[in-house]
Copies of this chain bind each other. A is one copy, B any other.
């Protein structure tokens, strides 16, 4: 990661090339995420070409195109997989996955749990709106947050909590934010980007068009900053904090859990021709003689 150049702020704030017209609904929470990302990246002092934004499929995933930096956009549920591969090749990159609750927790669940375990030094900004926005309003795995359901069916199960799942699966950084407060989001993002392992930010980012229950106001009423005294490096404390907020019907905002694992450092893998000359096959022969 290169040192902050004076021009970095302008680079992040200017329009991305190519310039995509923003097609979120007016009032969509993802506008706040976009603003917060710009702030955070400026603060990181990283250059756009050093950043890889991997977008999920969904309204949320479009963030990759509205922001500077390299953007990759693959299959639904896939961002963490691509990001993992890229990060393993080049540990110097700033790799950020940007995806929705459907992409990450429905079809992407297979990747989510395992990337939490693998703990690559990259971040996932999960734009959680409790709905499939892009496909027009079906239930997502986080649908129902804050609602009391008397009876369930196989068709309509209770919601999952990505923060708890991530901690259980082994993630080393778990935070929450609310896109209606981009400044706080930016603070959290910076910590996530700096974390030397996998960082999940569960960002409540309302869908004004299809989720008429978890509205901006609802989040504002239910969100509550994590108290100063909380020690995020204590896993049990993190769990207790979640329990406490749950009991009170509140959503904790801030860093819930942060405890880096000991990880082996890796050099960038050989890419260029000059790194791939004179490859000697002999060391591979021994087993065959």
- With a cutoff of 8 Å between Cβ atoms, the chain B residues found around residue A170 in the complex are 157-158, 160
Shortest beta-carbon distance from A117 to chain B in Å: 4
Shortest beta-carbon distance from A242 to chain B in Å: 10
* Alpha-carbon separation in the docked complex, A106 to B109 (Å): 11
* Alpha-carbon separation in the docked complex, A158 to B197 (Å): 13
Q: Out of B113, B152, B161, B261, which one reaches A165, CB within 8 Å?
A: B113
* Alpha-carbon separation in the docked complex, A141 to B114 (Å): 9
Shortest beta-carbon distance from A141 to chain B in Å: 7
- With a cutoff of 8 Å between Cβ atoms, the chain B residues found around residue A239 in the complex are 239
Please judge, given known A-B contacts A152-B262, A168-B165, A263-B152, whether A157 and B107 are in contact too, CB under 8 Å. Answer: no
- With a cutoff of 8 Å between Cβ atoms, the chain B residues found around residue A106 in the complex are 114
Tell me whether B88 and A117 are in contact (CB under 8 A): no
Number of copies: 2
- With a cutoff of 8 Å between Cβ atoms, the chain B residues found around residue A168 in the complex are 160-161, 164-165, 168
A236 interface hit (Cβ, 8 Å): yes
A120 interface hit (Cβ, 8 Å): yes
Tell me whether A157 and B236 are in contact (CB under 8 A): no
- With a cutoff of 8 Å between Cβ atoms, the chain B residues found around residue A114 in the complex are 106, 109, 141, 157
Q: Out of B88, B110, B158, B264, which one reaches A152, CB within 8 Å?
A: B264
A183 interface hit (Cβ, 8 Å): no
A274 interface hit (Cβ, 8 Å): no
For chain A, the count of residues having a C-beta within 8 Å of the partner chain is 36
Q: Out of B110, B150, B157, which one reaches A119, CB within 8 Å?
A: B157
List A residues 117-169 near B (Cβ within 8 Å).
117-120, 141, 150-154, 157-158, 160-161, 164-165, 168-169
- With a cutoff of 8 Å between Cβ atoms, the chain B residues found around residue A53 in the complex are none
Shortest beta-carbon distance from A130 to chain B in Å: 15
Q: Out of B109, B119, B150, which one reaches A109, CB within 8 Å?
A: B109
* Alpha-carbon separation in the docked complex, A164 to B117 (Å): 14
A84 interface hit (Cβ, 8 Å): yes
- With a cutoff of 8 Å between Cβ atoms, the chain B residues found around residue A119 in the complex are 152, 154, 157
- With a cutoff of 8 Å between Cβ atoms, the chain B residues found around residue A50 in the complex are none
Nearest-CB residue, chain B, relative to A87: B154
* Alpha-carbon separation in the docked complex, A263 to B264 (Å): 47
* Alpha-carbon separation in the docked complex, A157 to B116 (Å): 9
List A residues 56-80 near B (Cβ within 8 Å).
none
Using a CB–CB cutoff of 8 Å, the interface residues on chain A facing chain B are: 84, 87-88, 106-107, 109-110, 113-114, 117-120, 141, 150-154, 157-158, 160-161, 164-165, 168-170, 236, 239, 243, 261-264, 266
